[in-house]
Amino acid sequence: MKTGRTTIAIMGNPNSGKTTLFIKLTGSNQHVGNWPGVTVDRKTGQIHHAGKVVDVVDLPGIYSLSPFTQEEIIAREFVLSDELDGILNIVDATNIERNLYLTMQLIALGLPMVIALNFIDDCRAQGVQIDCQTMSDLLGVRVIPISARHGENMDALLDAVTGTLTPPAHQPDYLHGVGAAIRRVSGLLDGQPLRRASLPFYAEKLLEGDSHVQKTLSLPDPVRHEISHVALSLCSHQNSTDNQMIMADALYDFIEGVVKQCYVRPENPPLTTTERIDRVVMNKWLALPIFALIMCVMFLATFGPIGSTLMDGLDGLIQGRLSPAVESGLLAIGASDWVIGLVCDGIIGGVGGVVSFLPQIVILFLFLSVLEDTGYLARIAFIMDTLLRKIGLSGKSFVPMLMGFGCTTPAVMAARTMENEDDRRMTIMLTPFMSCGAKLPVYALFSAAFFPAHAGLVTISLYVLGIVMAIVAGFILKKTVFRSVSSGFVLELPTYRLPTFKGTVRNMWTRAKDFLTKAGTIIFLMSVLIWLLQNFTPTLGVAENSADSILGAFGQLIAPIFAPLGFGFWQAAVSLLAGLVAKEAVVSTLSVLYGAGGDSAMLATILAGAFSPLTAYCFLVFILLYMPCMSAFATIKREMGGWRWAFGSAAFQIALAWLTAFLIHTVGSLFF
Ligand code: GDP
Ligand code: MG
């Protein structure tokens, strides 16, 4: 939407510091991550400086204006629209050649522009000297050296973006006839209904044979013929058949010239810290053991003594203090029995049963956030690629899957960075098999109840089973639905960075807030609803026995489906249905149904009467694999582009969950 105000976009390569700069400029709250998949949605903010207000959009990170991934398409459509008044191009000064490639294409757009040369602190540390004035002169665009992370030189940048931004002073003169060809095609396009300043951009794309631009322009035939004539003669002049290569070469030649004139790099640069760390972490023999070790530490911290002690503490607070206090308070004001039942058994029971898992969730997210922000997550993808490629999968799909350990919804969106459409869809279908944070309360409850001595082992086995099933299912899908060959691996390995304390805390707080909000809204309503449905009969009388209640009747209707899996009783069936709203609701529902009042120890004792260890494990396996919660389901529908895909993958997941649980139950019954 075009407002009366000036709108500028922050554009740059992934990991060039866009989000960091965006927050510095606007003061807006947002997750700052290292992985290119984090900034997928359009984020807007406002700059208030020197009495002026400017709207800023944080666009997804892109390497060029030739769209490949969905993010690049979003970014390109936005810069070509009329919404934009100027571009703030953020450039990673430590990766200058690759970053200027995008800059050259932005210059061709002819929009008012300024370059923020970021990571100037890292350059200084590496002993690199940069002559920004010469760079400005050569590019025809103002260059301001900054450090987004340390807020260095922000005032100069703020002055520039709130002042009058100017279009590039001149278009670069590319060698080998490319510059001349661009000028000729720009001339041919004159008179078309296009932004005049951007003609060089359209000319470049047409010379490259960009089919998307060709389609959207629908040029008259004579013009089209002349353009292809120019493109052909450029080819023959260059003795090549690949116009894209010719253009890229010309751009890189120009960039090399610029960098030569304004960069002075030290003679024998010492190994950077990143290179030194990668020698160990990415070592052929050490990579996998190190990854396994990190995972072990993560799970131990989450499920081991630290996590469970904190959880017990919170549990005790809710059961020992809150619940009795509320009950006596309600008694004192003369509340009726059913109100006390609703509040203590329904609300505190349901919501409290879920909230006590907060410490473990926070610890898990602390680890995921640090893994992501340090840049290790991208390396895991790289490490796994070699392995996964052997069975026809791409390592790139491993990153969304790993994020799936946190929450399926952002993980599904993270798949947007995958170029191959089949791979992307497949990754989306497999990500829900990862044990998301919401499944954790269910695991913790059941493993404490049935496998107290081996609780950690059981939980880890479920995490591993999820990964194994994703690989198996991926293998099946690759042979049937998604047959195309995975594209090459182009995920870059970002520089290692120490995560900032503020960023990590903010990230954890966001997760904790999400979790608590969910407990306070969805789980709350769900608990009340379950309690009500459990206390009234279908004829709206008061149910003496909850099996006669509305919920009991309905649960008994669907319970037979689960009989072959060993848990064919109505309480289990109802909790699985509730789990579709949010996975934590399985715990809150069982807590309400069995009247445990949010006391997980008591609930565990009651559950021990309903399940056997084997059926309890099958129940967990089913929860691990069956379709994800509503919010993830809606995201899958959006990302896959249709209900057919969404229901198709849900059916696939449910079928796989049923079959796996059935298999485990059948085989297990032979032994136990
Ligand atoms: P984006 O992908 O372009 O949004 O990049 P981010 O804003 O997420 O930044 C990637 C990483 O680079 C983060 O860990 C930032 O803290 C770090 N970073 C950003 N700007 C600078 C800077 O100027 N200097 C240093 N040393 N680190 C920076
Ligand atoms: Mg970002």
pLDDT in tens, 149-167: 999 999 999 999 998 899 9
* Predicted confidence band of residue 3 (pLDDT cuts 50, 70, 90): low
pLDDT value at 68 more than 90: no
Please name the residue that has the structure tokens 């987004």. 148
Closest Cα partner for 590 from 340, 338, 349?
349
Highest-confidence range of 186-200, 314-328, 564-578, by mean pLDDT? 564-578
How much distance in Å is there from the Cα of 20 to the middle of ligand 1?
Answer: 6
Pocket test for ligand 1, best of 20, 39, 126 (most atoms within 8 A of CB): 20
How much distance in Å is there from the Cα of 22 to the middle of ligand 2?
Answer: 9
pLDDT of residue 392: 65
How much distance in Å is there from the Cα of 69 to the middle of ligand 1?
Answer: 22
pLDDT of residue 323: 80
Pocket test for ligand 1, best of 23, 497, 504 (most atoms within 8 A of CB): 497
Q: What's the rounded mean pLDDT across residues 85-106?
A: 93
pLDDT of residue 489: 47
pLDDT of residue 28: 57
Q: What's the rounded mean pLDDT across residues 603-626?
A: 94
pLDDT of residue 258: 94
> Ligand 1: which residues within 6 Å by Cβ?
12, 14-20, 32-34, 39, 61, 118-119, 121-122, 147-149, 373, 497, 500
Half-sphere exposure of 212 (CA within 13 A, CB side): 11
Cα separation, 64 vs 66, in Å, equals 5
Q: What's the rounded mean pLDDT across residues 100-124?
A: 94
* Predicted confidence band of residue 601 (pLDDT cuts 50, 70, 90): confident
Atom of ligand 1 nearest to the CA of 58: 4
Pocket test for ligand 1, best of 13, 18, 25, 32 (most atoms within 8 A of CB): 32
Atom of ligand 1 nearest to the CA of 22: 7
* Predicted confidence band of residue 217 (pLDDT cuts 50, 70, 90): confident
pLDDT in tens, 225-269: 999 899 888 887 776 777 888 888 889 999 999 999 999 888 877
Lowest mean pLDDT among 221-225, 380-384, 457-461, 558-562: 380-384
How much distance in Å is there from the Cα of 14 to the middle of ligand 2?
Answer: 7
* Predicted confidence band of residue 34 (pLDDT cuts 50, 70, 90): very low
How much distance in Å is there from the Cα of 60 to the middle of ligand 2?
Answer: 7
pLDDT in tens, 504-525: 888 888 878 888 887 888 888 8
Atom of ligand 1 nearest to the CA of 119: 23
What are φ and ψ of residue 404, in 5° steps? -60, -20
* Predicted confidence band of residue 499 (pLDDT cuts 50, 70, 90): confident
Nearest residue by C-alpha to atom 6 in ligand 1: 17
CB contact set of 43 (below 8 Å; sequence gap of 6+): 19, 22, 28, 30, 57, 58
Full-prediction pTM beyond 0.85? no
Nearest residue by C-alpha to atom 24 in ligand 1: 119
pLDDT of residue 1: 46
What are φ and ψ of residue 639, in 5° steps? -70, -30
How much distance in Å is there from the Cα of 119 to the middle of ligand 2?
Answer: 15
Beta-sheet pairing, 129-130 with 263-264? antiparallel
Atom of ligand 1 nearest to the CA of 35: 2
pLDDT of residue 338: 82
What percent of the chain stands above pLDDT 70? 94
pLDDT of residue 300: 79
Give the orientation angle of helix 643-671 with respect to helix 455-480, to 10 degrees.
130
Atom of ligand 1 nearest to the CA of 16: 3
pLDDT value at 386 more than 80: no
pLDDT of residue 38: 38
Lowest mean pLDDT among 15-24, 339-348, 432-441, 546-555: 339-348
Task: Between 372 and 391, name the one with better pLDDT.
Answer: 372
pLDDT value at 494 more than 80: no
Nearest listed ligand to the Cα of residue 40: 2
Nearest residue by C-alpha to atom 12 in ligand 1: 17
Q: What's the rounded mean pLDDT across residues 33-41?
A: 42
pLDDT of residue 32: 43
Average pLDDT over the chain reads 85
- In 50-201, DSSP assigns E strands to 52-58, 86-92, 113-118, 129-130, 142-145
Q: What's the rounded mean pLDDT across residues 288-312?
A: 82
Please name the residue that has the structure tokens 């530490």. 297
Atom of ligand 1 nearest to the CA of 122: 26
pLDDT in tens, 357-383: 788 778 888 888 888 888 888 788 777
Nearest residue by C-alpha to atom 28 in ligand 1: 149
Q: What's the rounded mean pLDDT across residues 454-479?
A: 88
Pocket test for ligand 1, best of 15, 71, 98 (most atoms within 8 A of CB): 15
Adjacent-strand bridge partners of 116? 90, 144
Write the single-letter amino acid at 515: F
Cα separation, 187 vs 637, in Å, equals 45
The secondary structure of 304-368 as a DSSP string is SHHHHHHHHHHHHIIIIIIHHHHHHHHHHTT--HHHHIIIIIIIIIIIIHHHTTHHHHHHHHHHH
Atom of ligand 1 nearest to the CA of 118: 23
pLDDT of residue 37: 41
Q: What's the rounded mean pLDDT across residues 207-216?
A: 85
Half-sphere exposure of 347 (CA within 13 A, CB side): 14
Lowest mean pLDDT among 94-98, 341-345, 569-573, 623-627: 341-345
pLDDT value at 12 more than 70: yes
How much distance in Å is there from the Cα of 642 to the middle of ligand 1?
Answer: 35
Cα separation, 166 vs 91, in Å, equals 18
Q: What's the rounded mean pLDDT across residues 317-333?
A: 84
Closest Cα partner for 303 from 315, 343, 295?
295
How much distance in Å is there from the Cα of 17 to the middle of ligand 2?
Answer: 7
Task: Between 466 and 334, name the one with better pLDDT.
Answer: 466
pLDDT value at 10 more than 70: yes
Give the orientation angle of helix 440-450 with respect to helix 358-374, to 10 degrees.
130
Nearest listed ligand to the Cα of residue 152: 1
Closest Cα partner for 462 from 621, 250, 274, 276?
621
Cα separation, 55 vs 61, in Å, equals 19
Atom of ligand 1 nearest to the CA of 373: 14
pLDDT of residue 415: 81
Nearest listed ligand to the Cα of residue 25: 1
Cα separation, 96 vs 102, in Å, equals 10
